[in-house]
Structure 1
Amino acid sequence: MRYIFLVFLGACSYGILSTIVKLAYGQGYSPAEVIGGQMFFGFVLTWIPALFFLRTKPGKKQLLLLVGVGLAVGSTGILYYNALRFIPASIAIVLLFQFTWMGVLAEAILTKRIPDKPTLFSLVLLLFGTLLAGGVWETGGIAQFHIMGVVLGLLSGVSYTLFLLFSGKAAVSVNPWVRSASMSTGSFLLAALVYTPVFLWNGSLLDGLFPYVFLLALFGIFIPTVCFNFGIPHTGPGMAAILGAAELPMAVFSSYIILHESVSALQVAGVAVILLGIVLPEWLRQRQRQKQRSSSLR
């Protein structure tokens, strides 16, 4: 249960990001400054504790694998934040949330096992709840929005699926703190290649950018990467994809509390359905285990 809680906590921390990004964009900061700053300070934050666990350094092959996984984290942020330039946040997060079924499908293909009934039922609830919480029907559907935003949003879901899939499998023998730092290195390298890190010398950090990018690094890089590196090797990518759905209720909640955005009754119902979809599979499995124990005792 503690590993399930860690993955859940990591997903919740992701839900705060859209609110912080909106606040930063509202202050006039560019995607290059916001994304680059997040990845840079995420790199710094994850390496500080990792330095105390470098007694056994990862091999070159392991390091390259972890940096490669970090590229998936970085590409998710770049794709999702750029999708927000073309389509509303409610639609962008629905497209990102296609990772729920993508992750379950990817695990089924790799393990050559059909997901059990609790997982499939949970997946249906999550997809339905995501559409409700994202306000898709209230905004008239996805088809009316800019095609570039839709494509970028879907690609962010694909890259996030790859992160969930490989973060629990790449170099699992390496200390989780070092794994997290290595992944954040990949994210920062990708961001630096896509966006010149002008924020380091143009004075924007001291001019008000720092609080936004530091919080984005904390909730978007440090907390989720560490939680996932400790948790996903034990939960598996399929369960991690389901638990990752906690991001959307947190996004709705933080937007309502911090940005004072209106939340409709349908969105509240969607959040409730998502939370049910997260809790349901583990609850059903616990009931099955109890029945098996009681029948064995008889």
Structure 2
Amino acid sequence: MKTSSRYWIGAFLVFLAAFCFACKGILIKLAYQYQIDSISLLTLRMLFALPFYIVILVNLNRKQSPAKLTSRQWAALAIFGITGYYFASFFNFLGLIYITASLERILLFVYPTFVLLMNAMGFGLRVTKLQIVALILTYAGILLAFWGNIETSAQNNVVLGAFWVILSGLVYAVYLVGSDRMIPLIGSLRYTCYAMIAATVPTVLHCAVQNGLHLGGYPMPVYALGLGMGIFVTVIPTFMIAEGIKRVGSGNASIIGSIGPIFTIFLSTTILHETISIEQIIGTLLVLAGVFMIGWKGNKQVTPSVTN
């Protein structure tokens, strides 16, 4: 395959993955209309996705040699998976109880700056002047979008919702930084499968403790939305983004993936009929500019993945 064709196919896969990820908040908001709690909805998402990851992992292990990790590395893999796909996802689901899907997506995009700061403080990676400007732009955009929505009637509790979503971004950044050290050992696809399987365990346990794992009795649209989240917002974009990164590189993927908030704003206004303020539009553009600048510098850790 020609280099140009390989690049454009990869870019298209990342673009489609960004669209799928952007749909997550929309589907969650639609499901919340049926009075389902956060952990039950997250459990449905994980259980619907789980069989696909198991089948893909079994197939990978048949074609390739089994992963050879030490017990300490297996433990780290499980911890990273639980961090990225249980804690980060649950905090994100909680945040969407209180704020709109469009604001959630803007706030969640703070995670590339967290990754940049963690690598600078924890691993001594130098932060350039351009990246400092990118950080200022990103946080200015988030502050503007937040301030423009603080009095909006569509938000139940914008401060609490923003807290959960930003905490989700912080936890997800921890997952990404740790993943960067694990993926070279077993590959991105296999790592994702193990991480998702590991995260399913505490999710199911949490649901069992909170409500006895009673997942029946909801209206059919809840299960349809849960299935949609499991397949179209989790499984499919997971592997599209992995293949896309392979073809275009993580820096380019992070730039292309930064279109996600634009998709969410469009979907939230057309499907959920959310009102978008001028501050939110300007804030979104500032956040995207900051993320674009970080990605343009080729910081390999800032990689779009299954964003919760």
TM, length-normalised to structure 1: 0.76
Contact 2:148 2:277 survives alignment (8 Å): no
Q: Which residue is equivalent to 1:109?
A: 121
Distance 1:99 1:280, change over 3 A: closer
| Structure 1: distance between partners of 2:176 and 2:232 | 17
* One-letter amino acid of the structure 1 residue matched with residue 123 of structure 2: T
Q: Which structure 1 segments of 5+ residues have no match? A: 286-298
| Structure 2: distance between partners of 1:168 and 1:152 | 24
Q: Which residue is equivalent to 1:127?
A: 139
| Structure 2: distance between partners of 1:78 and 1:91 | 17
Distance 1:161 1:223, change over 3 A: farther
Q: Which residue is equivalent to 1:162?
A: 174
CA shift digits 1:87-121 (9 cap, x unpaired): 55566555544423211101112331321223222
How far 1:189 moved relative to its partner?
0.8
How far 1:263 moved relative to its partner?
2.0
Q: Secondary structure at the match of 2:119?
A: helix
Q: Which residue is equivalent to 2:269?
A: 256
CA shift digits 1:36-91 (9 cap, x unpaired): 00111222222333322113222353544332221012111111212333555566
* One-letter amino acid of the structure 2 residue matched with residue 137 of structure 1: G
Q: Is 1:192 matched with 2:204?
A: yes
Q: Is 1:57 matched with 2:66?
A: yes
How far 1:176 moved relative to its partner?
2.8
Q: Which residue is equivalent to 2:194?
A: 182
How far 1:128 moved relative to its partner?
2.4
| Structure 1: distance between partners of 2:268 and 2:239 | 25
Q: Is 1:152 matched with 2:152?
A: no
How far 1:267 moved relative to its partner?
2.4
How far 1:24 moved relative to its partner?
0.4
How far 1:34 moved relative to its partner?
0.9
Distance 1:169 1:221, change over 3 A: farther
How far 1:180 moved relative to its partner?
1.5
Distance 1:68 1:284, change over 3 A: closer
Higher mean C-alpha deviation, range 275-284 or range 105-114: 275-284
Contact 2:100 2:274 survives alignment (8 Å): no
* One-letter amino acid of the structure 2 residue matched with residue 198 of structure 1: H
Q: Is 1:28 matched with 2:39?
A: no
Distance 1:227 1:124, change over 3 A: farther
| Structure 1: distance between partners of 2:121 and 2:91 | 25
How far 1:225 moved relative to its partner?
3.8
Number of aligned residue pairs: give it: 277
Distance 1:157 1:282, change over 3 A: closer
Q: Which runs of 4+ in 1 moved over 4 A?
A: 1-12, 86-95, 144-151, 227-230, 239-246, 281-285
Q: Which structure 2 segments of 5+ residues have no match? A: 1-6, 299-308
Indicate which of 215, 222, 247 corresponds to 2:228. 215
